[in-house]
A and B are shown apart, each in its own frame.
Chain A
Amino acid sequence: DTEVTQTPKHLVMGMTNKKSLKCEQHMGHRAMYWYKQKAKKPPELMFVYSYEKLSINESVPSRFSPECPNSSLLNLHLHALQPEDSALYLCASSQGLLNTEAFFGQGTRLTVV
């Protein structure tokens, strides 16, 4: 089983809203990632968690706040987003940080209005 589950699949939110994206994996992976992907562009790394600790933050604005409650769950809390934040948000997990492939979820299509 190489499944990473993301919810919701689609989200429309206003610029003053607070919402959360959720990601879950049951493969025993200890590294989890958030990526942002704009149309016809490659995924760009936002955050990396290793053993439930934030290990990489790629200078992401504070209106995006990640959280890793346990080894199977990863959340991305959203607040006061801008229309340019509209994108496909992808969660991924890997067994470890080094030399291992990452498996991606199907993504959350976020639209900020």
Chain B
Amino acid sequence: EDQVTQSPEALRLQEGESSSLNCSYTVSGLRGLFWYRQDPGKGPEFLFTLYSAGEEKEKERLKATLTKKESFLHITAPKPEDSATYLCAGRTGANNLFFGTGTRLTVIP
């Protein structure tokens, strides 16, 4: 069964305190691992796509990495405006974008 599991469920960080969010997946015929950011009441905002183990992508304070079983979203020196829910999703061979339950990040000034 296709599954995407994210941890932790919620994370509180002090401003400037770096950390990592985890996404482990078991998706048959994975056709991409995607990271999105979602603010309350808004649609998910695309951040990164990763296709193969060892791949890394960066954008400002965020860096996403991929292994054969999991992906990490590293947040370096976060700011309060980075507070959001971060969603990980795998695209299956049947083209379903299969989301994890997300990590709710709060960055305290």
**Are A and B part of the same complex?**
yes
State the A residues within 8 Å of B (CB).
2, 4, 6, 31, 33, 41-45, 48, 55-56, 58, 88, 90, 92, 97-107, 109
Q: Is the interface of B mostly helix, strand, loop or mixed?
A: loop
Nearest-neighbor residue (CB-CB) of B35 within chain A: A101
Interface residues on B, range: 20 to 34
Q: Is the interface of A mostly helix, strand, loop or mixed?
A: strand
Give 16 pairs: A residue, B residue, CB < 8 Å, sorted on A: A4-B43, A43-B44, A56-B95, A56-B96, A58-B96, A90-B44, A99-B31, A99-B51, A99-B91, A100-B32, A101-B32, A102-B34, A102-B46, A105-B43, A107-B41, A107-B43
Complex CA distance for A102 and B98, rounded to whole angstroms: 12
Total residue contacts A-B, CB cutoff 8 A = 60
Contact with A along B84-109 (1 / 0, CB 8 A): 00010101001111111110000000
Partner of B101, one of A6, A42, A58, A90: A42
Complex CA distance for A45 and B95, rounded to whole angstroms: 10
- How far is the CB of A108 from the nearest CB of chain B, in Å? 10
B residues in contact with A98, CB < 8 Å = 31, 91, 95
B residues in contact with A102, CB < 8 Å = 34, 46, 97
Nearest-neighbor residue (CB-CB) of A41 within chain B: B101
Nearest-neighbor residue (CB-CB) of B104 within chain A: A40
Assuming the A-B contacts A45-B97, A97-B95, are A104 and B41 also in contact, with contact meaning beta carbons closer than 8 angstroms in the complex? no
Contact with A along B20-52 (1 / 0, CB 8 A): 000000000001101010000111111001010
Give chain B interface residues in 61-96, CB to chain A under 8 Å: 87, 89, 91, 94-96
Nearest-neighbor residue (CB-CB) of B100 within chain A: A42
A residues in contact with B46, CB < 8 Å = 2, 101-104
